[in-house]
């Protein structure tokens, strides 16, 4: 396995995930092929929210991960590996109070600094490959209308080299992805759950119908659903469309 990763650098694109997806349909791509852009015009967060990014200030990239034998029921392992890898790099960079807001936002304190978008391409009951988009707020220091957003420079007071940061993230991703196909989600969940944002704290949520309710985040089920303990003590699982944390 060579250390060489193919990195495609773009000045601007609508979406690095879409660019990589189109490329993958044209030809087989090497593992970890990466597309990075200075400016993403139509970055999508989870559930279609727009990602706000100043040109050249942040790290916006997507990479392709090929699999030989990752079963569909193991797919939450991807969320776990990616979250742990990014948290490891940010921890080394001196970012305090890191946590993961289920399923895929990386937080410092109560501010979001990174979003992750995972798109899986299936072959039967297995994942053929995944296209993983990462948007990390690095050197941008103003976010209009996004009071919950922050960046590495806002937190540490220093600016970061985007290329070096990308290399660090890619090498941590390789470490965390190593052996993933042989691991069950249950084996990998404890490390992820230890980083869960607002775990065991009373929090406000909104359900799919728009009603608000209070609950405690207890953990994540192997199917990737969020496990909440409701006010009567009952535990229930929710997927992404069924619950929103209001913090």
**Could you identify the residue written with the tokens 């289920």?**
102
What pLDDT, in 10s, does the model give residues 186-211? 999 999 999 999 999 999 999 989 99
Q: What is the pTM of this model?
A: 0.91
Q: Quote the CA–CA distance of 216 and 41 in Å, as a whole number.
A: 37
Asked if the model's pLDDT at residue 3 lies above 80, the reply is: no
Q: Quote the CA–CA distance of 60 and 133 in Å, as a whole number.
A: 8
- Domains in the chain with CATH codes: 7-193 (3.30.930.10), 202-245 (2.30.30)
Quick one: pLDDT band at residue 53, thresholds 50, 70, 90?
Answer: low
CB 118, CB 79: distance < 8 Å:
yes
Q: Which two tokens stand for residue 46?
A: 């989870």
Q: Quote the CA–CA distance of 203 and 25 in Å, as a whole number.
A: 42
What pLDDT, in 10s, does the model give residues 9-38? 999 888 999 999 999 999 999 999 999 998
Asked if the model's pLDDT at residue 5 lies above 90, the reply is: no
Q: Which two tokens stand for residue 132?
A: 């993983």
The pLDDT, as a whole number, for residue 10 is 92
Q: Which two tokens stand for residue 146?
A: 């996004």
What pLDDT, in 10s, does the model give residues 141-174? 888 766 688 999 999 999 999 999 999 999 999 9
């Amino acid at each position: 396995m060579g250390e060489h990763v193919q990195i495609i650098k773009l000045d601007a694109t609508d979406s690095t995930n879409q660019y990589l997806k189109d490329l993958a349909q044209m030809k087989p791509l090497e593992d970890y092929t990466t597309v990075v852009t200075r400016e993403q015009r139509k970055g999508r967060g989870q559930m279609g929210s727009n990602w706000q990014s100043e040109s050249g200030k942040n790290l916006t990239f997507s990479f392709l991960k090929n699999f030989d034998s990752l079963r569909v029921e193991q797919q939450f392992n991807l969320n776990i590996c990616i979250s742990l890898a990014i948290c490891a790099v940010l921890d080394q960079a001196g970012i305090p109070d890191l946590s993961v807001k289920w399923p895929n936002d990386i937080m410092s304190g109560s501010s979001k600094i990174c979003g992750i978008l995972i798109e899986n391409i299936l072959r039967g009951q297995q994942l053929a490959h995944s296209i993983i988009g990462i948007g990390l707020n690095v050197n941008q220091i103003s976010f209009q209308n996004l009071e919950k957003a922050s960046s590495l420079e806002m937190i540490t007071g220093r600016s970061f080299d985007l290329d070096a940061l990308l290399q660090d993230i890619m090498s941590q991703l390789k470490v965390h992805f190593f052996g993933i196909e042989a691991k069950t989600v249950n084996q990998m969940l404890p490390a992820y759950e230890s980083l869960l944002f607002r775990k065991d704290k009373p929090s406000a949520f909104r359900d799919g119908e728009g009603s608000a309710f209070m609950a405690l985040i207890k953990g994540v089920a192997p199917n990737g659903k969020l496990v909440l303990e409701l006010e009567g003590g009952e535990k229930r699982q929710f997927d992404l469309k069924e619950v929103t944390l209001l913090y």
